[in-house]
Chain A
Amino acid sequence: MTSAELTRRIGFATAPPAALAWLCVLIFAGVVTFAKTSLPWLQIYPASGVIPLADWVNAAIDALVSVVEPVTRGIALLLEWPMLGLRDLLQWTPWPIALLAVALLAFHAAGLRLALLCGVALVYIALAGFWHQAMNTMALVGIAVPLSLTIGLAAGIWAQRTKIGAGIVPPTLDMMQTMPTFAYLIPLLVLFGFGPVVGLIASAIYACPPMVRNVRLGLTRVPSEIAEAARISGSSRYQQLFWVELPAAMAQIKVGINQTIMAALSMVIIASVIGGFDDIGWEVLSTMRKARFGESLLSGAVIVILAVVMDRISAAYAGRGRAQVGTTAKSWQLSPWTWATAGLVAFCLLLKALGLDLAIDGPAWAHEFAAWINTQLDGFVASSGQLLTDLKNAAFYYYLLPIRIGFSQAILPFTWGFTFTAEMQWGYWIALVLLTGLLILRGRWRSGGALMVAGYLLFFGLTALPWAVFFAWALLLAWQLGGCRLLLFVGGALAFILVTGMWERAMLSLYLCGAAVAMSFVLGASLGVWAAASGRVSAVLRPIADTFQTIPLFVFLIPVLMFFQVGEFTALLAIIAYAFVPALRYTENGLRQVSPQLIEVAVEQGCTKSQIFWQVKLPLAMPAILVGLNQTILYGFAMLVIAALVGTTGLGQQIFLALGAADTGLGLTAGLSMALLAMIADRMLQAIARQRFEGMQ
Chain B
Amino acid sequence: MADSGDITLACAQLWKVFGEGDLAGGLGASGAEAAALADSLRAEGHIVGCCDIDIEIKRGEFFVLMGLSGSGKSTLLRCLSRLTEPTAGRLTLDGEDFLNAGPKALMDIRRRKMGMVFQHFGLFPHMTVLDNVAFPLKVQGVGNGERENRARQMVSLVGLEGREAAYPHQLSGGQKQRVGIARSLAVDPEIWFLDEPFSALDPLIRWQMQSELLRLQNLFHKTVVFVTHDFIEAVRLADRIAIMKDGRVVQIGTPEDIVLNPADAYVSEFVKEAPRTKIIKVSQLMEPVEGDDAAEQGLDPGMTLEDALTWSAERGGTLSVTDTAGRTIGRIVPERLSAALSGARLD
Which A residues are within 8 Å of any B CB, using their own CB? Answer: 223, 225-226, 228-236, 239, 243-244, 247-248, 250, 322-323, 325-326
| Chain A residues positioned under 8 Å from B122 (CB to CB) | 223, 225-226, 228-229
In the bound complex, CA of A317 to CA of B78 (Å): 37
- Give the residue name and chain of the A residue nearest to B119 (CB): A225
Q: Which residues of A contact B232 (CB under 8 A)?
A: none
**CB-based contact B125/A228 at 8 Å:** no
Q: How far, in whole Å, are A118 and B112 apart by their CA atoms in the complex?
A: 53
Q: Is B120 an interface residue (CB 8 A)?
A: yes
0/1 interface trace, chain B 112-131, chain A, CB 8 Å (1 if under): 10111011111111111000
| B193 located at the interface, meaning its Cβ lies under 8 Å from any Cβ of chain A in the complex | yes
* Cβ contact within 8 Å between B108 and A234: yes
**Which chain A residue lies CB-closest to B109?**
A234
> For the complex, what is the distance from the CA of A325 to the CA of B123, rounded to whole Å?
15
How distant is the Cα of A228 from the Cα of B83 in the complex, in angstroms?
7
Residues of chain B within 8 A (CB-CB) of A223 are 120, 122
CA distance A229 to B180 in the complex (A): 9
Q: Sorted from nearest, which 9 A-B pairs have the closest CB atoms? A: A234-B111, A225-B122, A234-B110, A229-B122, A233-B136, A247-B126, A225-B118, A232-B116, A326-B126
Contact A233 B135 (CB under 8 A): yes
Majority secondary structure of chain A interface residues (helix, strand, loop or mixed): helix
Interface residues of chain B, those whose CB is within 8 Å of chain A, are 78, 81, 83, 107-112, 114-116, 118-128, 135-136, 138-140, 167, 169-170, 183, 187, 193
**Contact residues in A for B140 (Cβ distance below 8 Å):** 234
CB pair B139 A228 closer than 8 Å? no
Given contacts A248-B124, A250-B126, contact A232 B193 (CB under 8 A): yes
Partner of A325 from B81, B110, B112, B126 at Cβ < 8 Å: B126
Write the nearest CB–CB distance from A328 to chain B, whole angstroms: 8
Structural contact, A326 and B127, CB atoms closer than 8 A: yes
Q: Residue of B at shortest CB range from A323?
A: B167
Q: How far is the CA of A597 from the CA of B65 in the complex (A)?
A: 41
Q: Which residues of B contact A225 (CB under 8 A)?
A: 118-122
A251 (CB) vs chain B CBs: closest residue: B125
Query: Min CB distance, A333 to chain B, in Å?
Result: 16
Contacts A235-B107, A248-B124, A323-B170 known; list 7 others, CB within 8 Å.
A232-B116, A233-B135, A234-B109, A236-B139, A243-B139, A244-B135, A250-B126
Q: Is the CB of A231 within 8 A of B83?
A: yes
Report if A235-B126 is in contact (Cβ < 8 Å); known contacts: A323-B169, A326-B167.
Answer: no
Distance, CA A247 to CA B187, complexed state (A):
23
Q: Which residue of B lies closest to A235 (CB)?
A: B139
Q: Which residue of B lies closest to A224 (CB)?
A: B122
B interface secondary structure, majority: mixed
Q: Which residue of B lies closest to A247 (CB)?
A: B126
Is the Cβ of A234 less than 8 Å from the Cβ of B124?
no
The distance from the CB of B188 to the nearest CB of chain A, in whole angstroms, is 13
Q: How far is the CA of A247 from the CA of B112 in the complex (A)?
A: 25
Write out the residue numbers on chain B whose beta carbons fall within 8 Å of the beta carbon of A322. Answer: 125-126, 167, 169
Chain B residue numbers with a CB within 8 Å of A233 are 110-111, 135-136, 139, 183, 187
Alpha-carbon gap, A230 to B136, bound state (A): 8
Please give me the residue from chain B that is nearest to A231 by CB atom.
B83
CB <8 Å contact, B121 and A247:
no
| Contact partner, A234, options B119, B126, B136, Cβ 8 Å | B136
24 contacts between A and B (CB under 8 A): A225-B118, A229-B118, A229-B123, A230-B139, A231-B83, A232-B115, A233-B111, A233-B135, A233-B183, A234-B108, A234-B136, A234-B140, A235-B107, A235-B139, A236-B139, A239-B139, A243-B135, A247-B124, A248-B124, A250-B126, A322-B169, A323-B170, A325-B126, A326-B167
Q: Would you give the shortest CB distance from B127 to chain A, in whole angstroms? A: 7
> Which of the residues B118, B126, B139 comes within 8 Å of A248, measured between beta carbons?
B126
Q: What's the Cα separation between A325 and B112 when bound, in Å?
A: 30
Expressed in whole angstroms, the Cα–Cα distance for A401 and B112 within the complex equals 77
Q: How far is the CA of A529 from the CA of B244 in the complex (A)?
A: 54
Most buried by A among B122, B125, B128: B125
Residue of B nearest to A325 (CB): B126
Contact B116 A244 (CB under 8 A): no
What is the bound-complex CA distance between A234 and B187, given in angstroms?
11
Q: For the complex, what is the distance from the CA of A233 to the CA of B183, rounded to whole Å? A: 9
Q: Give the contacting residue for A232; candidates B110, B124, B128, B167; CB below 8 A.
A: B110
Residues of the A chain whose Cβ atoms lie less than 8 Å from the Cβ of B193? 232
Chain B residues, CB < 8 A from A228:
78, 83, 116, 118, 122
Cα distance A393–B107 when bound, in Å? 74
Give B83's nearest chain A residue, CB to CB.
A228
**Nearest B-chain residue to A232, judged by Cβ:** B116
Best-buried of A225, A226, A229, A230 by chain B (most CB within 10 Å): A229
How distant is A511 from chain B, measured CB to nearest CB, in Å?
48
Complex interface: chain B residues within 8 A of A231 (CB): 83, 110
Most A-side CB within 10 Å, residue of B78, B128, B135: B135
The answer to whether B107 touches A234 (Cβ under 8 A) is yes
- Decide if A232 touches B114 in the complex (CB within 8 Å): yes
The reply to whether A234 and B139 contact each other, CB–CB distance below 8 Å, is yes
The chain A residue with its CB closest to the CB of B81 is: A232
In the complex the two chains form, what is the Cα distance from A322 to B110 in whole Å?
Answer: 29
CA distance A403 to B340 in the complex (A): 89
A239 CA / B136 CA spacing, docked (Å): 11
Residues of B within 8 A of A229 (CB): 116, 118, 122-124, 135, 183
For B107, list chain A residues within 8 Å (CB).
234-236
Kindly provide the distance from the CB of B227 to the nearest chain A CB, expressed in whole angstroms. Answer: 13
- Whose C-beta in chain B lies nearest to the C-beta of A245? B124
